[in-house]
Every structure is written in C-alpha cells, then in structure tokens.
Amino acid sequence: MVIPRVSDEPLPRSLSEPLPRSSRGPLPRSLSEPLPRSLSERSETKRRPEPPVNAHPRPRTVDAASRRAREVAASVLDPEVPVLTIEDLGVLRDVVVDHGRVSVTITPTYSGCPAMDAIRDDVVLALTSAGFDQVDVRLVLAPAWTTDWMTDAGNRKLVEYGIAPPTGRAAASGPIRLQLSVRCPRCGSLDTREIARFGSTSCKALYECRTCLEPFDHFKVH
C-alpha cells in the first residue's frame, strides 16, 4: 500500500536532491575547488609554532669588522665612573657593521642621564679614531636598563673605585624586595647608613660607614 502524500508541494530541496545538473547552478566555491593554500596548509603551520614575538633574536653571524667595532665601543668609559666601561655598565647593547657603517645601540642608565650625550660622543670618537668613518649611535629606552645588567667585572671595579655596587637584583619578583645591607667599599663593614638619597649623581646614594666613618657613594639598585 502506498502512503499518499499530504500535499503536492515539492519536497524541501535537501530531500529532493539530486536535481538535474542544469538547475543546480555552480557549486559553492568551497566545494567545487581545492582549498585555498592558506587553509590547506593550516595543519602544517600548526606543527611549527612561531617563536614568541618578544623572544631574543638569534645571535647574528658576527664578522671581523663587527667584532672589532664592538671591542672599540666596549672600551668607552662611563664619564661618571671612569673605571667602568659602558660594557661593564651593561649600557652597550649592540654593535653591527653593515657595508662599512657602524650602528651602535646603547641604553641609558636613566632616561635623561646627562652622561649619555658624553657617552654617545665618546663612542663616535673612539670608532672614527679606529678607522670607522660612518657611525650611528642609537638610544634604545626599552627594555629599561637595570643595575642587573652590570657585569661582575663592573661590580668589582666599583668597589675598587670606592663605590658600593648595587645590592640585590632589580628584577626580584614579588611584593617584598630584599633590602641587603650596603657594604662599605673601604673597610668592608656592613654597619652603614644612607645619609642622602642622591650622591654625586642621581644614580647613586650617599652613604656613611659607622665603622671607618668614611662617606661613600652607593650605586643604587635600579
């Protein structure tokens, strides 16, 4: 027995297909063509994740000229603490020689640090004296310099110069930053006290040793 249809209306398209080709029209693009390249390769891309945007760039291949230029720039002294080189301070960020042009990147210890103009001039002078005719010095403010960038050699030189090096790490996380005692660079005593927040420069505080009674500069953690 045949169940009669309720009406003569055509069935919904989805049920009545396949229609003759001529009435179907062109297939939707997504079905009639191969996937666009970018979609078909998506899974391939996922298997090779992009490095994080702020990852450190790979060290570039350093040629002899760049090495030499770096040596020269690294020997420039900090005008405020002339036993420290700008490399000891961690101020020298990058030196690249490209087609004879030297590009030096430095990060000031403090933005507006008056020593930076002198450092820039000294870098240009040192490099031109060493035979590099074209020198660009670029100041990069971010990431901001911290005393953590100072080298161990730099910290030793500070003590020998009579300045107490930074105590602790600026990058210490958490709400409590350990305040370490400042050691007197002359006698080594930890019995010291701050007598002025700003010493000979804004980077330093003026301290006094209660043991040997000498005042000294302390390079503040920054």
- Per DSSP, the residues of 72-92 read HHHTPBPSSSTTSBHHHHT-E
Cα(85)–Cα(142) distance, integer angstroms: 21
**Would you say 116 and 108 are in contact if contact means Cβ atoms under 8 Å apart?**
yes
Site membership for Zn ion, residue 186 (CB under 5 A): yes
In the complex, least distance from residue 217 CB atom to Zn ion, rounded to whole angstroms: 13
In the complex, least distance from residue 167 CB atom to Zn ion, rounded to whole angstroms: 15
- Give the binding range for Zn ion (CB under 5 A) out of 34-42, 130-138, 155-163, 184-192: 184-192
In the complex, least distance from residue 210 CB atom to Zn ion, rounded to whole angstroms: 8
Binding residues for Zn ion, total number by CB under 5 A: 7
Count of H-run helices and E-run strands, the chain: 9, 7
Cβ distance to Zn ion smaller for residue 45 or 211:
211
Q: Which two tokens stand for residue 159?
A: 């003590």
Cβ distance to Zn ion smaller for residue 116 or 182:
182
In the complex, least distance from residue 81 CB atom to Zn ion, rounded to whole angstroms: 19
Q: Which two tokens stand for residue 165?
A: 């090096």
Site membership for Zn ion, residue 206 (CB under 5 A): no
Smallest CA-to-CA distance from 158 within 90, 217, 203 is with 217
Cα(87)–Cα(90) distance, integer angstroms: 5
Q: Per-residue contact track with Zn ion, 88 to 117, x per CB under 5 A?
A: ------------------------------
Selected from 86, 91, 104, 184, the binder of Zn ion by CB under 5 A is: 184
In the complex, least distance from residue 163 CB atom to Zn ion, rounded to whole angstroms: 13
24: buried, middle or exposed (CB in 10 Å: 19+, 13-18, 0-12)?
exposed
What residue ranges bind Zn ion (CB under 5 A)?
184, 186-187, 189, 209, 211-212
